[in-house]
Structure formats: structure tokens, C-alpha cells
Amino acid sequence: MEFVGIMLQIFDATIRVSVPLLLACLAGLYSERAGVFDIGLEGKMLAGAFAGASAAAVTGSAWMGLGAAVVTAVFFALVHGFASITHRGNQIVSGVAINFIAAGSTIILGQAWFRQGGRTPSLSGDARFGAITLPGADAVRDVPVLGPVYSELISGHSLLVYVAFLMVPFTWWVLFRTRFGLRLRAVGENPAAVDTAGISVTWLRYRAVIFTGVLTGMAGAYLSIAQNAGFVKDMTAGKGFIALAALIFAKWKPVPAMFACLLFGFLEAASIRFQGLPWPVIGKVPVQLINALPFILTVILLAGFIGKAIPPRAGGVPYVKER
Amino acid sequence: MSVPYAKLPGWADYGLIPIINLLVAFLVAGVVVLLVGENPLSAAVILIDGAFGSGQNIAYTLYYATNFIFTGLAVAVAFHAGLFNIGGEGQAYIAGLGVALVCLTFDSVLPWWLTFPLAIAASAAVGALWALIPAYLQAKRGSHIVITTIMFNFIAASAMVYLLVDVLKPAGSMAPQTRDFFDGAQLPKMGWLLESLGLAVRSAPLNISFLLALLMAFAVWVLIWRTKLGYEMRTFGFSPKAARYAGVSESRIIIIAMMISGGLAGMMALNPIMGDQHRVALDFVAGAGFVGIAVALMGRSHPAGIVPAAILFGVLYQGGAELAFEMPNISRDMIVIIQGLVILFAGALEHMFRAPIQAVFASFSPRSVGVAAPKGEGA
């Protein structure tokens, strides 16, 4: 029974740490499926986290925080779009730039506005998204196995957690069951064909990067006003890149993306829980190895040793209508 | 807009456009300074004074510039072969391992002028090896070099933390770093150069790896523009199809270009480790690998542009440190913003001002644009 308790704790933590990865990963999915590479997920998440925590601290409302996070991340997404769609700049370079601008400006503005060494004031009450107890969670708590699973693992998370997991079927539906999704995928594979059909490649790609902005903003807001009680500098700490790794790992598909994020989240949760303790079978593992595992796994996958990850064909290539 | 890449005269292409891009980046940075409630003009004055105000400040500026010359050259060499090596940070970090091994082994046995060449070789070799894996995977397995080099940055960081915390740290010490090196692994300072001009340098860490950086800048120029290999690399970068048709081996170019790039990034480790700190500490690269991207973009991937661009970033680093002293609202992270803005305007948005400038040139003399464009419609 104690084992079940520990596993429940780890799975619960897995869900918590997977959510920002999942939101950022789905964000990248829209952009990259439309043929716009985005290594600026990290920066947009960070900017969103900062804007969200700042707005929530000033207004005292978590919803205002979420709104500010989304608006800020969409702004950065539009900068990326402006550079890489309108001006056909290098998408990687633009993403790198956005990561730096976000990393620097969150610290400078945070220090200037709040004077707490780059932190935002600690949030409490309505300024955070609190845990939601799902109906019947307390009633079934004593039912063996399924009771704790429902009341502890599934119930008791903040709103954004449920939104993140609902975004998975929603994204699948948008991409594979709507006209917009079909065109979005087409513009990432063969933009000329989409153009020939009389559909604006530019506008489609802009809509994709706006989606990316909205979701990275939500990921940032989750970090600073749901999972934690405020912004601390560099709080994304590479999560945007782990999300990117998960996206490749999932071969640019929404449902596998969820499992990839859960896997990477599980590694993180387990490495925190078992820090310094010997693992079953393999003995003691340095925590740094566990931290590097998502990146190592992605490299191995990209190398084609476990399956093959084929990116959208027009990814990274600016579309030139005519010359 | 039907002729977007019409030709501009060289001075406009290599001088005017980078300067305009840079000015716009600084204007936007000035807006950020305004947002935090400081005066951008006085910030600029403090920054320039902090970078050039005394001999010591100049020496610090050049010390930082040394790092950026190495990493800027690393990014540039890969750019010429059409590759984006975003992994300079990781290559430099892991190269610290090579420097550490050489220094810890020989610092009590050999004089510095024997340790230094060994350390150069070790840093370049380790950096090159760290770049070899992504290069091999790109060349033979088709994985995207940008993604793999990003992943390798994180893997390098994890590996170095592990090594410094669990392996290289001397017993009984708490700090995650190697022991201090003896004299045999400490590079001579170059303060005499500035002192001979009558400037006081005091303890600024400018050292002879600055000369090595300049030498490498020259070597990269020779390699790219004066050798067959460099020609093949540029051909491959310009048009992989043409290169393949001309019999250039794709995987050979990718692997060689990336190894040179990784080797140059690796040599950056010499400057802070042997020239200043005399030990390997956590995070000694401190973002220099990423600054290299901005430097290469600013310098148009040409050594003659990279050295001034690296000095410019040296000015920002050193002047920014002074600025953080004088204006409490502005920390050193201001440089990170400027760096991002330079990358944005000089890199991703480089075409934004090109079309209007071409239009202006065309209106002065249509022939200068190189197209028989009708009047007033140049670009």
C-alpha cells in the first residue's frame, strides 16, 4: 500500500511538471506544422510567465494575469512571424533572438518594477489559480485503488492543468478534422499548392504563430501563477527546449506529444523524488544524467535509431510567392 | 518586390546596412532603458566611459572581446558551409574539460609556454569532438544540426556539472570547481601593451589568448577565402546542389566545417580558464557561445567584421558592468536584451531595411542596382 502511495505521489508530480511542457509542445506543434520552426518557445514562455505574474500581482486577479501572459506571448510570436513570414528571415535566428530578448527584459523590468532581485511579489488567494476539487472526489476517497487515483491524481489540480490536457484532443480535432487544420498541415508541407488553391500562405502561417503565442502564454502563466506563486528569473530553465524535444519525439503529432511530455515529466518527477537514492536494478544514477535524458533520447531518435522523425517538409523555409 | 536581392555597392552591403541594423537595435534598447526610468543617453555615456575610460577598462573590454572572437569565428565558419552551429556554448563548456586535464596534469611540471600549446590542442580537440557527433548525425543520418546542437548544449552542461561536482572537485572542498592551477598553467597578462601607451592596467585579465584569437581570425580568413577547402565550403553553403554536381563530398564538408567550428568554440575556454580564473568553475562560458551568433551576424561572417563586432560586444559587457554600478535599475542583463535585439535586427530582419535602401539607391542611379529597372521602382 505504501508503494501505491509513493507511485501516486510521483504520478501526481508528473502531471504537474508535464503541463508546461505539454502546453509549449502543442504550441510548437501549430507553428511547425505550418512550416515555421520555432526555437523561441522558451522565450515566449518566460515572457508569458513574467507578464502573468506581474499582472496578477498588480491586479490581484489570476485571470488578468493569464490575459497578460497570453497577450505578451502573442506579441513575441508576432515578432517571430514578422521576421520569418513577412521578411523571410532565418527562423532559427529569429527564435534565438526572442529567447535572449525575453531572458534579459524579464529580469530588467522585474527589477525595475518590483525591486526584489528579478522576482515578482509573491501571489496568494485570487491572484493564483487554485486547486479544483472535481465532483465526488471526497466521496470516493475511501474506495480502494480507484478512489485515491480519482481524488488525488485526477482531482485537485488547477484549471490550466485540465485545459492543457483538453487541448490535446482539441488540437487533434483542429488539425485532422477541420478545413483550417488541413490547410495548416498543407502549408507546412507544400505552401505553393496551398497558394495555388487561392489561400493566403502568409495569413495561415500568421494564424499558426498566434496559436503558438496563446499556448506558450498559457504555459508561462501556469508556471508563475498556478504551479508557483510568482515569477523568479529564468524560471522556464530549458522547459521550452524540452518541449521542443518532446515535439520531435512525438513526430509532430498531438496525442504522442502528450505521452512524450508525460514521459519527460515523469523523468523529472522521479529524479526529484529519488534524488541521491539508488534506482532499482541500475543502482545509483547521477541526477544530471536524468536531467539530460530527454535531450539524449531526442538525439537518438533524431538519428533514426528508434523510429524516424520526419519534420514538416516546408519547415524552416520562407515562402516566396514569385520572383 | 519582384527583384528582392538586387545588388548594392559593397560599402552599403557591408557597412551601411549593418550600421542601420545596429542603430535600430540600440534605439529599441534605449526604449527599454526609458521603460525602467533611466535616461538612455546618460546610460550610453556611462557605458562608453566604462568600456574605454581607463587602461584597466580597455583591458577588460579586450578580455571579453577575446571570448567573442573565438565563438564568433566558430559560428561564421559553420555559416559559410550553410550550417547553423548553435552549440558553441556547449562546445566551449565541454572543452573546459580538455583544458582542465592538461592544466591539472602539467601545471607543476612544465612552464606555461609548453602547457599552452598542449591546452590549445586539447581544447580544440574536445570542442571539435563535441561538434563531430551532431555533424556526423547530420551528414549520415539526416538529423537537423540546429536541434542536435541545442540538445548537445544541455547534455554538455549536465556532463560538466556532474564532472565538477563529483569528479574534478578536490576532496574536502565544497565549491564545485577544480583546484587552482599552479604557475605552469597561468597565461601571461598583456597589460604591458597598454601600459606602454601610458595607461594603468592593474589586474585586468587581458592575456595572450587575445593574440591567439587574432591569429585564428587570420587563419579563418585564409581558410575560407584562400584554400580549396574553404572554396568548397562556401560552394556547399551557397548551393549544396551545385557543390554535389562539382564533386564535393557533402558529408566531408559538413563534418570538417563543424569540427573546425567546434574547435574554435573550444579554444574560447582557454581565455577565462588559463587567462583569468586559473581553475575550471561552473558556467565559465557565461553565454559567450550565444554571443558568438550575434557577433557572426554583425560581422557578416567575415573575420574583418567579426573582430570589430566582438570588440563591440566586449564594450557592452565591460561597459554594462560599470552601468550596473551607476544605474541600479539596469543590471548586466541589459546586455542580453541588446544581444537579442542585434540578433533580431542584424540577423532575422536583415532584409527589412534592404528593400527601402535599394529603392533609395535606385532612385539616385538605377544602374547601381544592377537591374534595368524603370525609374522609381528600383527594388
β-bridge partners, B58: none
Average pLDDT (A262-278) is: 79
Would you call B158 and A288 a contact, using CB atoms and an 8 Å cutoff? yes
Q: What is residue B202's predicted lDDT score, i.e. its pLDDT? A: 75
Judged by average pLDDT, the poorest of A65-74, A113-122, A212-221 is A113-122
Residue A140 has pLDDT above 80, yes or no: no
Can you list the positions of beta strands (E) in chain B?
A: none
Looking at the domain assignment, is residue B247 inside a domain?
A: yes
Would you call A108 and B147 a contact, using CB atoms and an 8 Å cutoff? no
Over residues A277-310, the pLDDT tens digits come to 666 666 677 778 888 888 888 888 778 776 666 7
Domain count, chain A: 1
Would you call B347 and A112 a contact, using CB atoms and an 8 Å cutoff? no
Say which amino acid occupies B109: V
Would you call A101 and B347 a contact, using CB atoms and an 8 Å cutoff? no
Q: Which residues of B touch A100 (CB under 8 A)?
A: 290, 336-337, 339-340, 343
Q: Choose among B146, B161, B337: nearest Cβ to A108.
A: B337
Residue A124 has pLDDT above 80, yes or no: no
Residue B9 has pLDDT above 80, yes or no: no
Q: What is residue B6's predicted lDDT score, i.e. its pLDDT? A: 58
Strands A157-158 and A131-132: antiparallel
Would you call B344 and A101 a contact, using CB atoms and an 8 Å cutoff? yes
Cell output for B266: 573550444
Residue A156 has pLDDT above 80, yes or no: no
Q: Choose among A82, A248, A292: nearest Cβ to B147.
A: A248
Over residues B194-210, the pLDDT tens digits come to 777 777 777 788 888 99
Looking at the domain assignment, is residue B363 inside a domain?
A: no
Q: What is residue B377's predicted lDDT score, i.e. its pLDDT? A: 40
Looking at the domain assignment, is residue B274 inside a domain?
A: yes
Domain count, chain B: 1
Over residues A73-87, the pLDDT tens digits come to 999 999 999 998 888
Judged by average pLDDT, the poorest of A314-318, B56-60, B215-219, B269-273 is A314-318
Q: What is residue A306's predicted lDDT score, i.e. its pLDDT? A: 64
Average pLDDT (A7-26) is: 90
CA distance B36 to chain A (A): 5
Higher-confidence position of A321 and A25: A25
Over residues B114-126, the pLDDT tens digits come to 999 999 999 999 9
CA–CA separation, A218 vs A199, rounded Å?
29
End-to-end Cα separation, chain A, in angstroms = 69
Average pLDDT (B55-71) is: 92
For residue B286, the enclosing domain spans 55-314
Q: Which residues of A touch B338 (CB under 8 A)?
A: 104
A227 CB within 8 Å of a chain B CB:
no
Q: What is residue B375's predicted lDDT score, i.e. its pLDDT? A: 46
A103 CB within 8 Å of a chain B CB:
yes
Neighbouring residues of B83: CB distance < 8 A, sequence distance ≥ 6: B135, B138, B145, B237, B254, B257, B258, B261
Average pLDDT (B156-180) is: 87
Looking at the domain assignment, is residue B20 inside a domain?
A: no
Q: Choose among A37, A108, A304: nearest Cβ to B141.
A: A304
Would you call B2 and A323 a contact, using CB atoms and an 8 Å cutoff? yes
Looking at the domain assignment, is residue B210 inside a domain?
A: yes
CA distance A246 to chain B (A): 12
Looking at the domain assignment, is residue A62 inside a domain?
A: yes
Average pLDDT (B221-234) is: 94
Judged by average pLDDT, the poorest of A174-183, B30-39, B227-236 is B30-39
Q: What is residue B218's predicted lDDT score, i.e. its pLDDT? A: 96
Q: Which residues of B touch A97 (CB under 8 A)?
A: 340-341, 343-344, 347-348
Judged by average pLDDT, the poorest of A189-203, B305-319, B345-359 is B345-359
Higher-confidence position of B11 and B135: B135
Please report, for the domain that includes residue A178, its CATH number: 1.10.3470
Average pLDDT (A172-185) is: 93
User: By C-alpha distance, which of A108, A105, A82 is closest to A94?
Assistant: A82
- Cβ-in-10-Å burial (0-12, 13-18, 19+) of A275 comes to exposed
Model-level pTM? 0.86
Cell output for A28: 510548437
Higher-confidence position of B154 and B375: B154
* Angle at A320 (CA atoms; ends B341, B298), nearest 5 degrees: 25
Cβ(B145)–Cβ(A236) below 8 Å = no
CA–CA separation, A296 vs A311, rounded Å?
19
User: By C-alpha distance, which of A119, A118, A120, A73 is closest to A99?
Assistant: A73
Q: Choose among A91, A108, A303: nearest Cβ to B330.
A: A108
CA–CA separation, B291 vs B336, rounded Å?
9
CA–CA separation, B58 vs B206, rounded Å?
9
% of chain B exceeding 90 in pLDDT: 37
User: By C-alpha distance, which of B102, B151, B105, B149 is closest to B122?
Assistant: B102
Place of cell 534605439: B27
Q: How confident is the model at residue B374 (pLDDT cuts 50, 70, 90)?
A: very low
Please report, for the domain that includes residue B130, its CATH number: 1.10.3470
Residue of B nearest to A82 (CA): B349
User: By C-alpha distance, which of A266, A322, A318, A296 is closest to A80?
Assistant: A318
**What is chain A's mean pLDDT, rounded?**
85
Q: Which residues of A touch B151 (CB under 8 A)?
A: 241, 245, 295-296, 298-299
Q: What is residue B366's predicted lDDT score, i.e. its pLDDT? A: 61
Looking at the domain assignment, is residue A307 inside a domain?
A: no
Q: Which of residues 104-123 of A touch B (CB under 8 A)?
A: 104-105, 107-109, 111-112
Question: What is this model's ipTM?
Answer: 0.86
Q: Phi and psi for B250 in degrees, rounded to 5?
A: -60, -50
Would you call B155 and A296 a contact, using CB atoms and an 8 Å cutoff? yes
Q: What is residue B373's predicted lDDT score, i.e. its pLDDT? A: 44
CA–CA separation, B297 vs B307, rounded Å?
12
Cell output for A177: 478534422
CA–CA separation, A130 vs A124, rounded Å?
9
Q: Which residues of A touch B152 (CB under 8 A)?
A: 295, 299
Average pLDDT (B24-36) is: 87
Q: What is residue A283's predicted lDDT score, i.e. its pLDDT? A: 66
- Cβ-in-10-Å burial (0-12, 13-18, 19+) of A153 comes to middle
CA–CA separation, A176 vs A184, rounded Å?
10
Looking at the domain assignment, is residue A320 inside a domain?
A: no
CA–CA separation, B257 vs B224, rounded Å?
10
A174 CB within 8 Å of a chain B CB:
no
Residue of A nearest to B293 (CA): A93
Judged by average pLDDT, the poorest of A12-21, A118-127, B91-100, B247-256 is A118-127
Residue B331 has pLDDT above 70, yes or no: yes
Q: Choose among A39, A97, A289: nearest Cβ to B347.
A: A97
| DSSP secondary structure letters along B126-138 | HHHHHHHHHHHHH
Q: What is residue B261's predicted lDDT score, i.e. its pLDDT? A: 96
Q: Which of residues 243-302 of A touch B (CB under 8 A)?
A: 244-245, 248, 286, 288-289, 291-292, 295-296, 298-299, 302
Looking at the domain assignment, is residue B37 inside a domain?
A: no
CA–CA separation, B62 vs B271, rounded Å?
11
Residue A139 has pLDDT above 80, yes or no: no
Place of cell 553553403: B237
Residue of B nearest to A323 (CA): B2
Q: How confident is the model at residue B369 (pLDDT cuts 50, 70, 90)?
A: low
Q: Which residues of B touch A313 (CB under 8 A)?
A: none
Q: Which residues of B touch A303 (CB under 8 A)?
A: 137, 141, 143
Q: What is residue B372's predicted lDDT score, i.e. its pLDDT? A: 47
Would you call B340 and A98 a contact, using CB atoms and an 8 Å cutoff? yes
CA distance A309 to chain B (A): 9
CA–CA distances in Å: residue B7 to residues A113, A225, B140, B168, B374: 47, 51, 36, 55, 16
Would you call B344 and A107 a contact, using CB atoms and an 8 Å cutoff? no
Largest CA distance in chain B: 78
Cβ(B213)–Cβ(B69) below 8 Å = yes
CA–CA separation, A64 vs A42, rounded Å?
22
Q: Choose among B36, B150, B343: nearest Cβ to A93.
A: B343
CA–CA separation, A217 vs A210, rounded Å?
10
User: By C-alpha distance, which of B43, B320, B61, B322 is closest to B199?
Assistant: B61
Average pLDDT (B28-38) is: 85
Q: What is residue A276's predicted lDDT score, i.e. its pLDDT? A: 65
Cβ(A98)–Cβ(A74) below 8 Å = no
Residue of B nearest to A298 (CA): B151
Cell output for B345: 535586427
- Backbone CA torsion sign across A124, A25, A271, B284: negative
Give me the total of CB pairs closer than 8 Å, taking one residue from chain A and one from chain B: 151
Q: Which residues of B touch A284 (CB under 8 A)?
A: none
A83 CB within 8 Å of a chain B CB:
yes
| Candidates B34, B36, B86, B158, partner chain A, best to mutate (most A CBs within 10 A) | B158
CA–CA distances in Å: residue B1 to residues A82, A200, B117: 17, 17, 53
Average pLDDT (B246-268) is: 94
% of chain A exceeding 90 in pLDDT: 35
Q: What is residue A173's predicted lDDT score, i.e. its pLDDT? A: 95
Judged by average pLDDT, the poorest of A305-309, B65-69, B176-180, B242-246 is A305-309
Average pLDDT (A312-318) is: 79
| DSSP secondary structure letters along B284-342 | -STTHHHHHHHHHHHTTT-HHHHHHHHHHHHHHHHHHHHHHHH-TT--THHHHHHHHHH
Q: What is residue A309's predicted lDDT score, i.e. its pLDDT? A: 67
CA–CA distances in Å: residue B163 to residues A95, A101, B68, B283: 31, 31, 25, 12
Q: Which residues of B touch A99 (CB under 8 A)?
A: 340
For residue A61, the enclosing domain spans 2-302
Residue of A nearest to B355 (CA): A87
CA–CA separation, B110 vs A129, rounded Å?
62
Cβ(B366)–Cβ(B373) below 8 Å = yes
Judged by average pLDDT, the poorest of A141-155, A215-229, B143-157 is A141-155
Neighbouring residues of B299: CB distance < 8 A, sequence distance ≥ 6: B72, B76, B305, B306, B307, B308, B309, B310
